[in-house]
Amino acid sequence: MRVKVVSKRLVKPRTPTPQTLKTYHISFMDELNPTMNVVGIFYYHSPSAAAANLEGLQQSLSDILPAFYPFAGRYMKQDRVVDCSDQGALLIEADVDHQMLETMKLDVVEELNDILPCEIGAADDETDPILLVQLNKFKCGGLAISVCISHRVVDACTLGTFVSAWTNAARGGNREEICPVFDGPAFFLGKNFPAPEFGTTRGRENGLYSIICKRFLFNKNTISGLKERVFKPTEQSCPPSRVGVVSGLIVKAIDRARAQVGPSTDLFVAQAVNIRERTVPPLSRHSCGNLVALAITELSAEETKRMGLEDYVRVLGSDARKAVRGCAGVISEEGHRGWIEASHEASEVSLREDVSVVWVTDWSKFGFYEADFGWGKPEWASVANVVVKNHVLLMDTKEGDGIEAWVQLEDTHMPYFEAQIRNFISA
């Protein structure tokens, strides 16, 4: 797939950022994220999409940047602040020598990174824009808008809030309908923690990524069948969610694949939990930043040998619900300590070779399929290869009743993982 950049321009806020907001101090939750970008790609195929122009996107982007003022700034790593002096978000236009439908069916997920406006790991330097957008025009007339925002400043929920506000403005909606709030640092004051090491790099080695990424589609019928297998009405009050049952299946398959490649190891699973609207007092659903807690599951190799699919689903679900309940107290000093300890533990364990570490994050509730710039809702919403080993990212399907799982593993593990998934589903 060949991508030719046609133009680049910096988009500044429609109105200047007030002097009182020129310096944005990040929170300790922001500090403890890896150096990388949060990405989303939105694909459109309609006559009106083919007529989309860069000027219209630039205007609507400029219109909403005053509300998202850190996104037009630059991160000052040494001071751990965003300099919000309206340097601008980068907007790129590119021609793609490929059919959009072929791109949507790519077996080699890494090629999707070619239509991003920057490399996944290109973040945190003073010259890196916080926000980058690329308008990709395919030769068939379809287009894809790819968005990268520094993980130092945002999480996936914030990406969803930004895209919702931008598409609303592009359709001529009320700019005040979505009111972002950058209040995370007020509740989670920065502590000058160094960014953890997750193996991310600014570019590709020899043109390739070292981690394989594949996507797996679990449709409504598959999920219903899995629920029937793991749900025991006599022992459980309600069946697991679609995210819960898919998470359990994937973690089990990763664990079994690891055991086939080398010796069995203990299992450590970290599930991301959105804390918005769950804290006391409640943070707004439009609070921007990294506002995520971790649900930690630790299991010994001996335990997992005896566990069936229903056990993985039950244990992971129980730990996730416990983490959700714990969100109520996360704003307290005790809550701060617990969050920091869990984050440091996860970071340290992730570097060990004697433990199988799995990261699970759920993006299925962030409304990406509602992203209508005026050309209709997207045909597909995707990510790319985020280049983090044993990383599982769950997204909604267009129909809203399935799950699309993006799984990143070492190349030696992926064939065994795929075989495990096939076996579980066909059993």
> In terms of domains, do 109 and 179 share one?
yes
Whether residue 421 is contained in a domain is answered as yes
> In terms of domains, do 7 and 115 share one?
yes
> In terms of domains, do 30 and 118 share one?
yes
> In terms of domains, do 217 and 121 share one?
no
Encode pLDDT of 196-217 as tens digits.
Answer: 776 566 666 544 567 889 999 9
The pLDDT value given to residue 202: 65
Whether residue 202 is contained in a domain is answered as no
Enumerate the H helices of 242-352 as residue ranges.
242-261, 301-305, 309-326, 333-350
The pLDDT value given to residue 338: 94
> In terms of domains, do 179 and 299 share one?
no
CATH label of the domain that carries residue 334? 3.30.559.10
d(CA 416, CA 102): 27
Whether residue 136 is contained in a domain is answered as yes
Domain tally, the chain = 2
d(CA 355, CA 329): 30
Whether residue 198 is contained in a domain is answered as no
Tokens of 282: 């409640």
The pLDDT value given to residue 263: 86
Nearest to 159 by CA among 133, 189, 185: 133
The pLDDT value given to residue 109: 87
Instruction: 333-339: list long-range contacts, CB under 8 Å, 24+ apart.
Output: 336/28, 336/188, 339/29, 339/293, 339/294
> In terms of domains, do 182 and 217 share one?
no
| CA distances for 374 relative to 163, 176, 418, angstroms | 13, 18, 39
> In terms of domains, do 236 and 132 share one?
no
The pLDDT value given to residue 386: 87
Whether residue 119 is contained in a domain is answered as yes
Residues of the chain with pLDDT under 50: 206-207
Tokens of 265: 């190891």
Whether residue 199 is contained in a domain is answered as no
Structural domain that includes position 418: 212-426
The pLDDT value given to residue 27: 98
> In terms of domains, do 146 and 260 share one?
no
Whether residue 91 is contained in a domain is answered as yes
> In terms of domains, do 225 and 359 share one?
yes
Strands 131-138 and 89-96: parallel
> In terms of domains, do 182 and 248 share one?
no
End-to-end Cα separation, the chain, in angstroms: 38
What pTM was estimated for this model as a whole? 0.94
> In terms of domains, do 391 and 303 share one?
yes
d(CA 369, CA 352): 37
Q: Known catalytic residues?
A: 151, 372
